[in-house]
Chain A
Amino acid sequence: MILDAETRADDWFRDRIFDACVLGTGPAGITLARKLARHGLSVGLFEAGGFDLSPDSQDLYKGITTGQPYYALDAARLRYFGGTSNHWGGWTRPLDRYDFEPNPANPLSGWPIAKDDLDRHAAEADEILNLPADTPPHELLASAGSALATRRFRFSRPTTRFGEKYRDELAGSDRIRVHLNANLVDLHLDERRRSVVEAIFRSYGRDDSFAVRARTFALCLGGLENPRLLLNIASEIAAGLGNENDLVGRYFLEHPHAPVGRVVVRKPLTDMLVYSPTPAFMRRAEVCNFGLRLGDMDQWNAGDFTGPFKPEPQCTIDFDALLTDEMKKAPAACPAHVGDAFVACEQTLNGENRVKLTAEKDRFGLRTIELAWRLSDTDRHTLKTAAMEVSRRMAEEDVGRMSIVPWLLNDETPTLDQLWGGNHHMGTTRMSADPKRGVVDANLKVHSLDNLYVGGSSVFATSGHANPTYTIVQLALRLGSHLAERLQKS
């Protein structure tokens, strides 16, 4: 059933206690709600926007940024049914096994769960995200094994827009009740301040609020809104919920994305090649994880890219002539042999990269956010090492040649034209077994509360280099299984 909170009746929530109140209808929220419903549980699913983009809702995502140039915060995500999946590019990859382990170059790194804990949900995540079967990656370098590993991305095609894909299913569900235009403005705790008893909402066209009761609550509002809500909900705990150790909003992570050069190769590039560091190389070079992509950026940035490049006619121009032309910036005569080098990398954990509240309030009285994002020396070193290691091996093996852009060679601060984020907002309610190092535990429960959970990329303990949506869905499926077991036991 799908309802509009603007037209709510007084009896909608009277005498009703949902098994779970899920806040947000992006990949995490809808996945979690569907999982719980399949276990026979009742779910109240709440979306702050309507079925499509509207200024009333989207304006509530406004905020300011400091540090490295970044996108406008009300353009970096979407506040309507289906959430940010509505402009998702469809790139997927699970985290690497070693992403879950501590990395000496990244203090505080390490997850309280292992890759296997998420991979048991891989088949279900593949189906949700419309993913093809995985295939082995191509290889260009013979000597890569000691330092570099080839990787593949899979592409969600047609790209899963969660609101579109599951709208009919949710409308027909007798266990999930969706509420549109329902803006979370407060959470009320019990007398012990250990449990959330009700969530308070407002809609746009009415001045009154309404309360929803549930046995459990799950914030699935995105990597910037999850901490914003926890910090704002200070009516009963001044520092905000789950913020006893001043960690909510800290350790914001992005994936720095940067074109790092051009490549000319002897054999045609038939598929996007991706190189990542081996764990041994990461330790040796003191870097974080990265994915260096080789190929035609115009093609892989197209919305329908699935992996292989369009076939090019047989090239008859020799390698030296192609390289000389490219060094002179002449148009490529054989596009399959000439392409881009691009890096997306993991960032180090930095407590000063954070979401914090400003003094300004939105129409519902919640304070807006400032996002502080900067690159560390290790982040720059990772980007540079990725470019240097691949380019050096290409030259040594004589399989191709690669250039590196001046700002990276010269250690200059990149502009937004030279380095940007992926609209990947991670780490701001990070997962840790230790309450002094993270906001949620291994089961995604806020450490200091008994029934408040968090879904989405804000719980990532580290980011790896993989795009986050696949991991978000795996985590939501795992959370659904955990909550179902817990709720059915009690």
Chain B
Amino acid sequence: MLNQVTIADPAFFQRHATKGISEALSTSRRKVLALLGGLAAVTVAGGMTAYATGHGGVVVRDGWILRADDLARLGLE
């Protein structure tokens, strides 16, 4: 069927989605997340932003949402 080859959506999604992710993740920037659920932002060393959550907090590093205790363990401090 012609349409299966020319405009089937899975191929479109695969081509565009894969490209989109690789491009997006190639930008290494630390950015502040929008506050959600009343989370309190706390600035920590290195210009990152941490969120007090009652579970030790989460931090944003290169777009990754990490636990505060990940930083030392993964050698990211």
Residues on A facing B (Cβ under 8 Å): 52-53, 75, 78, 86-87, 89, 257, 259, 261-262, 284-285, 297-298, 301-303, 320, 323-324, 327, 329, 340, 342, 381, 384-385, 388-389, 391-392, 394-396, 398, 401-407, 409-410, 415-418, 420, 422-423
Contact = CB atoms under 8 A, between A and B. Distances in A.
Given A89-B10, A329-B26, A384-B34, A394 B65 contact: yes
B73 A320 contact: yes
A285 B2 contact: no
Given A89-B9, A388-B34, A396-B53, 18 more contacts: A53-B1, A297-B13, A297-B18, A302-B14, A303-B10, A320-B74, A327-B64, A329-B26, A388-B36, A389-B36, A391-B65, A392-B36, A392-B58, A396-B67, A401-B64, A403-B65, A406-B29, A417-B20
Interface string B1-37: 1111001111001101111111111110101111011
Contacts of A409: 31-33, 60, 63
A420 B22 CA distance: 16
Contacts of B61: 327
A407 to B, nearest CB: 6
B23 A87 contact: no
Nearest to A391: B65
B9 A87 contact: yes
A422 B2 CA distance: 20
Interface in B33-77: 33-34, 36-37, 51, 53, 55-56, 58, 60-67, 70, 73-75
A103 to B, nearest CB: 18
Contacts, number: 132
Contact of A392 (B22, B53, B73): B53
B9 to A, nearest CB: 5
- Majority SS at the chain A contact face: mixed
Nearest 7 CB-CB pairings of A with B: A391-B65, A405-B24, A417-B20, A396-B55, A409-B31, A403-B64, A403-B63
A52 B62 contact: no
B11 to A, nearest CB: 8
A389 B36 CA distance: 8
Contacts of A381: 34
A388 B10 contact: no
7 contacts: A86-B1, A262-B21, A385-B34, A403-B63, A406-B29, A409-B63, A420-B13
A293 B63 CA distance: 18
A324 B74 contact: yes
B23 A417 contact: yes
A462 to B, nearest CB: 23
A99 B66 CA distance: 33
A406 B2 contact: no
B32 to A, nearest CB: 8
A342 B7 contact: no
A301 B36 contact: no
